Amino acid sequence: MRNDFDPATVGPDGRPPARERLFDPAAEGPWRGSIEGVAMGGAVTVLAYGTDTRGEGPRLHVHPYDETFIVVAGRARFFVGETTIDAGAGEAVLGPAGIPHRFENLGPGRLQTIDIHHSPRWIQTDLE
């Protein structure tokens, strides 16, 4: 059992619970959808990415904030600055702010990720 803080020391901040559609499961293409944190009154933006094609993935890009990648299914190779990290389903990878990064499907089969941008808005510069 976790007991990291005293709940009596934190009160509601007035934001209501919220719901948004992240992606349509029947949609085609690798970019399934995104929800900016501002849409839900939150501090993070969430993206869903998936591809069945080995070697396919987002182009090299950079953000002014951290990005956390969660591999939901399959295997991916992440290129984060000068570091290469292979990760599989159930693992997470951090792309620190200001470090160019990309990833690709290692196969076989589908790669599905949830990408968490540590910002209420999606801010990105593509480098390729």
What confidence tens digit (pLDDT) does each residue in 22-45 have?
988 888 888 888 999 999 999 999
The pLDDT of residue 9 is 93
Q: In what order do the strands lie in the sheet with 75-80?
A: 83-88, 75-80, 101-105, 61-62, 125-126
The pLDDT of residue 69 is 97
Which amino acid does the sequence have at 120? P
Domain 43-121 has CATH 2.60.120.10: yes
Ranges in the chain, pLDDT < 70: none
The pLDDT of residue 29 is 81
